[in-house]
Amino acid sequence: MTPKSRRMLFVDFDYLRGSHAHGRSQVPMPPEGWLVGRIGTVSAMWNGSRLVVGKSHLLDSIDCGNRFLKLVHDHDLVVGFSLLQSDLPALAMIAEVRRGHLEKCVDVLPILNRVRGKHWPTGLSLEKLAIANLSDMGFSKERAPVRAPHVWRGERVSVANRNKSDPRDDARLVMRLWETLVATRAVVIPAAGAGQASTYGPGWKDTPGDTFALATETVRELTGEMPTPERTNWFDLTRGNGGVLGVFPGGGDRARLAATRRLPASGRAELLSIHAALNDHGLIPAASLSMTPTVVLEGLQRVPGQQLFKTRESLCAGTPLTVSQRAEVAWGMWHATHRLWEAAYWQTVHDSKSQDGVIVWASACRLRDYAKSQKDELRTRIRAAIGGKDLTEDESERVAQEQSWRHAVRNFVPNEADGIYIGKLWVRGAKELESLSGLDLWAP
């Protein structure tokens, strides 16, 4: 290895929950409220003029954040698109991002935004930049990949169903774009036509495209030879409402979540008590006990919507969580340790709305109902494990009816009226769901 050679790592993050996890009509969730699902990386060697591509990694386990930070430690330069603006702020909510990690990071987005010279990141999406700058390399995409979690009629669908997108593909796209920018010392920023929408608001409509020459200082920022202001001041900038770009539609919500990034000892102790209660009742797999800190933080991050703000603020203020808040955190911890069940659950919801053919659709709908009943049973057990209130007489009667119905569903024998094929399809799926949950939900 020559003295000038550098170990490069190109990265792209994929999220289980993004800015519009609860529907396009809702206020966008800032990156501090996103949930990291998978991380795709591509390693390469850079000798100052040429990239030699090495191995790629798909980090998709519960500890993907810590595994990524270990990869950062093993490389000289880490390049991403919106890495400092979105990815690291999201990661910092479930893992410890240190200044040593930041000193190796280069974010292409804010650098090009400064080159563009506008307040809003006008037209600066990875897909549009790739189409505009990599056409001579044979790059083409019929449509942009789904980068935010797919929303199907208001229902979140897991990463397993996001058109089977692979974050390693976008990591390779970042690599090719970065190499082109450094080699040509120019960038083509595409025009934003009328009617186009942006995560950052309406300020970028009807903006003409142009070609910009990259100054020597800009190229040195891209190659990591010169620190960028976004990297140097990252901790201070990400405590504000706009992140390193200074703009984000979430407004004050971003600053509220960023202020709760570091939990006090009392807050961590309460989360650990919830985890211990779940473990005592056999609801946490033994294989994940070695990753308890990660499970605890991801479980907290899975609290939905505005409840996440209130829960994190209560933990930071030393205020005991309500039963409802503890139940949501516990449900998040269970989900964090049963990712395959979660993917299978959302697959049933998705299939029940998209399958072609009456027979397959009928089977998918029946499996969806089974999955939802299983989810209700799991939530009941989790609430009881953390010391939730006793059921009232009416609630006990309802639960008894549901358990009776679920028992009938589980022991269903298909007849000629229902169709043998329909029964075989959904019963097979039901057995898979119960196996992934790790529990015998209807044991007497």
- What's the pTM value of the predicted model, to 2 decimals? 0.82
pLDDT on residue 215: 94
pLDDT on residue 165: 74
pLDDT on residue 358: 54
Report which of 371, 373, 376, 377 is spatially closest to residue 351, judged by C-alpha positions.
Answer: 371
pLDDT on residue 398: 57
In CATH, what number does 6-258 get? Answer: 3.30.420
pLDDT on residue 231: 92
How many degrees, rounded to 5, is the angle at CA 262 between CA 261 and CA 264?
A: 140
Listed in order, the ranges of the chain carrying CATH 3.30.420 are 6-258
* Residues 6 or more apart whose Cβ sits within 8 Å of residue 61: 67
Tens of each residue's pLDDT in the chain, 444 residues: 444 789 999 999 999 887 655 555 566 788 888 999 999 999 999 998 889 999 999 998 888 999 999 999 999 999 999 999 899 999 999 999 999 999 999 999 999 988 887 766 766 888 888 888 886 554 544 333 433 333 322 333 333 334 457 899 999 999 999 999 999 999 988 876 543 444 444 444 455 668 889 999 999 999 999 999 999 999 888 887 667 777 665 555 788 888 899 999 999 999 999 999 999 988 988 888 888 899 999 999 999 888 899 999 999 999 999 999 999 999 999 999 998 888 888 888 777 776 555 556 666 777 777 788 888 888 888 998 988 655 555 556 656 655 665 565 555 554 444 444 445 555 667 777 777 777 665 544
pLDDT on residue 316: 94
